[in-house]
Structure 1
Amino acid sequence: MTTAKRKRMPRAEREQQMIAVAEQVFTERGYASASMDEIAELVGVSKPMLYEYFHSKEGLLLACIRQSRAALREVTAQATLGATSAEDALRKGLLAFFVFIRERREAWSLLRQEMALIGTSATNEIEETRRQQTDLITALLNDHLDAGDTVQAEASAEIVVGACERLAIWCERFPEMTPEKATGYAMEVIWTGLSQRAI
């Protein structure tokens, strides 16, 4: 990484720059080893300015996770718009997820480092990410499947989220694994059960 030269820019743009650099440092060093001094230097601002924006290292981490969560929701929600069937919606949503974790490796790394973040507010934020995706999938199931009662739909969504999270971690061991192939593996298992409730 190279140190950025400080230049005047709008607050929102500067904040995004800080988050982008912090995301990279947290991923490379791990949260515990990451230094606010290093992040400030790489951004090209003073450490007090970094604290002015985020108040603490944990506050900066939370900002990174919240931004990643929003980006994940956007891509998965957009992917399912206009789906022609339950199978189509699920396949498109899963593909969007696997593309996201490949193209946004730093963001995904933050979302999966839960064990390293125990004792921080980040664990709640990561669980909120799962909740967000579960809510999205529950809505999808209710729209496209005979989902039965609400509890059944939510249970199915939890299974999809948990299975895909584990599959995504497994995929990291295989650099040649494409999002399309991962989606195919997930659909082969998940859709087998859900297809029985297709309308």
Structure 2
Amino acid sequence: MTTAGSTADQPRKRMPRAERERQMLQIAEEIFSERGYLATSVDDIAERCGVSKPMIYEYFGSKEGLLVACIRAARAELAEVTTKAAVGANTPEEALRRGLRAFLTFADSHRRAWALLLSGEAAAAGPAAAEEVEAGRRQQVEIDVMLFRSFLPDAPQRALEAAAQVVVGACERLSLWYVAQEEMGADEAAEYLIMSLWHGLSGLIDRNNPSG
């Protein structure tokens, strides 16, 4: 028997919806990473979250909807960290290096999920997931164009967009290789990208900012 005022007599505090959603997304990312999207069931995720299967559907609509929400949350975080990384940079090279480090650090912190995301399995989940992955690429292109424009205000838009596409493509491919390496940090991986990319980008800068 419990005494008056004991915690056992008090109702369990209900988790706020936003907090519950974050928990579901975190656990879903873990399970998708461990087992792969196709081998993961909604029952698996509900069990580890400690919620009912209908609650997963209430929040996300479907397993693909849950994957889309995971991708959307990841790309929002990636946009934030890469944008903030370049703030205060004094030269284009410094801004690029900071952005690359932030991108690769993010990939490293989501190592298994990152490999899953870009492996093609996410695209196999359905058109909504495939579009969300592509939206992440477009978002990074837009961020890079803004960054380049801040240093090259008179450069042609098409040239900036082309450069941004190259940078995003190179980052994606190298990040897939990088997350499979056991003993490599983001700084080292970023330097490999700088070595490969800077020659072409510096040419764009020289053409559009001769005095710089």
Please report the TM-score for the alignment, with normalisation by the length of structure 1: 0.91
The partner residue of 1:27 within 20, 30, 33 is 33
1:129 has 2:111 as partner: no
**Post-superposition offset of 1:72:** 0.3
The partner residue of 1:177 within 178, 184, 195 is 184
**Post-superposition offset of 1:143:** 1.1
Instruction: Look at both structures and tell me which one has the larger radius of gyration over its CA atoms.
Output: 2
Change (3 A) 1:140 1:18: same
SS at match of 2:88: coil
CA distance in structure 2 between the aligned counterparts of 1:185 and 1:56, rounded to whole angstroms: 40
Match of 1:3 in 2: none
Q: Does the CA contact (< 8 Å) of 1:36 and 1:57 recur in 2?
A: yes
SS at match of 1:83: coil
Q: Does the CA contact (< 8 Å) of 1:23 and 1:110 recur in 2?
A: no
**Post-superposition offset of 1:116:** 4.8
Match of 1:145 in 2: 152
Q: Which amino acid aligns with 1:29?
A: R
The partner residue of 1:12 within 11, 15, 18 is 18
1:84 has 2:84 as partner: no
Q: Which amino acid aligns with 2:186?
A: P
CA deviation profile, 1:65-123 (whole Å, cap 9, x unmatched)? 00000000000001011111111110000000011111122442343133452333111
Moved runs in structure 1, 4+ residues, more than 6 A? none
CA deviation profile, 1:11-51 (whole Å, cap 9, x unmatched)? 00000000000011111111111110010010000101111
Q: Does the CA contact (< 8 Å) of 2:32 and 2:40 recur in 1?
A: yes
1:156 has 2:163 as partner: yes
Match of 1:55 in 2: 61
Change (3 A) 1:146 1:103: same
1:114 has 2:120 as partner: yes
Q: Point out the more displaced range, 106-115 or 49-58.
A: 106-115
1:74 has 2:80 as partner: yes
CA distance in structure 2 between the aligned counterparts of 1:147 and 1:141, rounded to whole angstroms: 10
CA distance in structure 2 between the aligned counterparts of 1:46 and 1:175, rounded to whole angstroms: 37
Change (3 A) 1:54 1:115: closer
CA deviation profile, 1:127-160 (whole Å, cap 9, x unmatched)? 0000000000011111113673111110110000
Please report the TM-score for the alignment, with normalisation by the length of structure 2: 0.86
1:39 has 2:45 as partner: yes
What value does the CA root-mean-square deviation take over the aligned residues? 1.7
Name stretches of at least 5 consecutive residues in structure 2 with no aligned partner: 1-11
- Give the paired residue count: 194
The partner residue of 1:168 within 170, 175, 178 is 175
